[in-house]
């Protein structure tokens, strides 16, 4: 086998591998253009995620706040930032290369019920690949679980 034949046999797989890598890279870049570049998502206000709406809970604000704090403290990837009377905020560590986010829940009392507005915003980087929407869903699910055995109340706390 001559030198030119050996080079030719090595060149074909290398060319094929380069072509496949280029196609994968191109497909990835095209896919990124389809994903909305979002750095902040807020329940009820983000057109990219119309399914994410504020939660209306049949509990008074003080109970929802207490259970929200319990839910945050139960997660090792969430770090409490603020615990006001009607605002609870924490840092959510993003999985893998996803940026960390600040998640803020605003609790609005309405006649014995509480409306929970949630906002998740990247702390760095551009685009979240849907992580902010997942942060909001995770918080609302954790809050629902924390309130699972609470008795609904129709009167305000003293």
Per-residue H/E/C for 86-149: CEEEEEECCCCCCCCEEEEEEEEEECCEEEEEEEEEECCCCCCCCHHHHHHHHHHHHHHHHCCC
Give the CA radius of gyration of the chain.
24
Give 96-130 pLDDT, tens digit per residue: 777 899 999 999 999 889 999 999 999 887 777 88
In the prediction, which pLDDT does 34 show? 64
* pTM of the full structure: 0.74
Compute the average pLDDT of residues 23-46. 78
**Chain mean pLDDT for the chain:** 86
């Amino acid at each position: 086998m001559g030198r030119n034949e050996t080079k030719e046999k090595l060149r074909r797989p290398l060319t094929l591998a380069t072509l496949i890598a280029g196609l994968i890279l191109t497909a990835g870049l095209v896919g990124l253009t389809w994903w909305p570049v979002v750095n902040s998502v807020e329940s009820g206000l983000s057109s990219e995620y119309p399914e994410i709406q504020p939660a209306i809970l049949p509990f008074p604000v003080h109970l929802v706040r207490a259970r929200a704090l319990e839910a945050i403290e139960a997660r090792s990837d969430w770090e409490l930032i603020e615990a006001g009377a009607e605002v609870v905020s924490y840092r959510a560590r993003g999985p893998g290369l996803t940026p960390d986010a600040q998640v803020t829940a605003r609790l609005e009392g309405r006649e014995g019920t509480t409306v929970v507005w949630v906002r998740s915003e990247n702390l760095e980087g551009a685009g979240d690949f849907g992580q902010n929407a997942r942060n909001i869903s995770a918080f609302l699910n954790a809050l629902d679980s924390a309130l699972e055995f609470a008795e609904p109340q129709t009167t305000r706390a003293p």
